[in-house]
Amino acid sequence: MTKDQLEAMTSATIPVVRKAADFIRSQAGTVSTEQIEAKALNSLVSYVDRSAEEILVEGLGAILPDATFLTEEDTVDNTDSSLVWIIDPLDGTTNFLHNLPFYSVSVALQSQGELVIGIVLEVTREELFYCWKGGGAFLNHQSIHVSSNRSFEEAVIATGFPYQDLNQLDAYINVFRSFVKNARGVRRLGSAALDLAFVAAGRFDGFYEFNLNPWDISAGGLLIKEAGGLVEGFYDTDGWETGNSIIGSSPTIFHRMKGIINEYMPQNF
């Protein structure tokens, strides 16, 4: 697809994402304990996640009937195709269920194995981050760029903590400790999609995490790249698109971040 086609596709996708966000917003504070299900250790889901995903699948299916889906809640059969929507209907479910204000809708489009569209909508403040391949990145129609800060000591870094694979927690805490000691601050919001979008907008200087999924990071990772940043896995052989591990930051601090991670979490960790 050409850049003009991708821009038009992005414009067509945004109202679908807004519809899902509107539904989520309407349900905030109304979900009872009996309506919450534990999918796995520390992983919660409710009818809100599933209903929002159904809204996205229906709307996006109308835009690209030949595309398939990679989804978090499995409300649709996932099959192989050259066009794949990668969607997280509610990134930050725990925040949402506890009435904390950081949660988002994340939608990406992959074409021939390459990410070409990324949209992250922060639900409570209605901040819309979006991009298409080769077109730059935007927040509410204004162009955004990664941080121009050149000092790691002045950097604010975002991360998340593993909640299922706890075998590497000690090593991860060592990485966290090094960032706390050497950077200005470390933040943990609870939505990887938002963390990455905030890096793209220059609010955070960098983000790192491991043991994620493609729907957590696809849209946000593309946003960082289109905003002039770098995105890689922890190791040269580790593609970030899988979610196994990811570093996203401005070019000025990227290698310092990667060096610290590799020091405390060598490739055979």
The CATH number of the domain holding residue 66 is 3.30.540.10
What's the 3-state SS for 70-132?
EECCCCCCCCCCCEEEEEEEEECHHHHHCCCCCCEEEEEEEECCEEEEEEEEECCCCEEEEEE
Residue 113 shares a structural domain with residue 157: no
On the question of pLDDT at 3 being above 60, the answer is yes
Per the structure, the count of domains in the chain is: 2
Q: Average pLDDT for residues 50-73, to the nearest whole number?
A: 92
Interatomic CA distance for residues 172 and 235, integer angstroms: 15
Mean confidence (pLDDT) of the chain? 90
On the question of pLDDT at 222 being above 60, the answer is yes
Q: Tell me the pLDDT band of 97, cut-offs 50, 70 and 90.
A: confident
Collect all residues with Cβ–Cβ distance below 8 Å to 258 and sequence separation of at least 6. Answer: 232, 234, 247
Residue 205 inside a domain? The answer is: yes
Interatomic CA distance for residues 117 and 182, integer angstroms: 34
Residue 182 shares a structural domain with residue 51: no
Helix axes 169-182, 251-264, angle to 10 degrees: 140
Q: Return the C-alpha torsion angle 5, 118, 235, 43, nearest 10.
A: -150
Contact between 228 and 249 (Cβ < 8 Å): no
Place of tokens 């979006």: 130
* pLDDT at position 129: 98
Residue 199 shares a structural domain with residue 97: no
* pLDDT at position 40: 45
- Strand-pairing partners, residue 230, are 249
Higher pLDDT, 49 or 156: 156
On the question of pLDDT at 237 being above 80, the answer is no
Residue 269 inside a domain? The answer is: no
Residue 116 shares a structural domain with residue 199: no
Residue 98 inside a domain? The answer is: yes
Residue 134 shares a structural domain with residue 159: no
User: Looking at 144, 178, 210, which one is the last position of a domain?
Assistant: 144
Residue 43 shares a structural domain with residue 102: yes
The token pair at 47 is 């009818």
Tell me the residue range of the domain where 167 lies: 152-264
User: What is the percentage of the chain residues whose pLDDT exceeds 70?
Assistant: 88
Q: Tell me the pLDDT band of 157, cut-offs 50, 70 and 90.
A: very high
- How wide is the angle at C-alpha 116 spanned by C-alphas 54 and 128, nearest 5°? 60
On the question of pLDDT at 27 being above 80, the answer is yes
15 backbone dihedrals φ, ψ, rounded to 5°: -60, -30
User: What is the percentage of the chain residues whose pLDDT exceeds 90?
Assistant: 73
Residue 156 shares a structural domain with residue 259: yes
pTM: 0.93
Interatomic CA distance for residues 261 and 176, integer angstroms: 9
* pLDDT at position 77: 59
Strands (E), 123-217: 127-132, 137-139, 142-144, 156-159, 185-187, 206-210
Place of tokens 């800060």: 149
Residue 19 shares a structural domain with residue 77: yes
32-51 pLDDT, tens per residue? 555 655 554 444 456 888 88
Residue 160 shares a structural domain with residue 218: yes
Interatomic CA distance for residues 96 and 67, integer angstroms: 29
Residue 243 inside a domain? The answer is: yes
The token pair at 113 is 């194995």
Which CATH number characterizes residue 209's domain?
3.40.190.80
Residue 129 inside a domain? The answer is: yes
Length of the chain as a residue count: 269
Interatomic CA distance for residues 200 and 238, integer angstroms: 21
User: Looking at 80, 113, 144, which one is the last position of a domain?
Assistant: 144
* pLDDT at position 47: 80
Residue 78 shares a structural domain with residue 47: yes
Residue 124 shares a structural domain with residue 20: yes
User: Looking at 112, 144, 176, which one is the last position of a domain?
Assistant: 144
Residue 260 shares a structural domain with residue 175: yes
In this structure, of 1-15, 162-176, 211-225, the range with the lowest mean pLDDT score is: 162-176
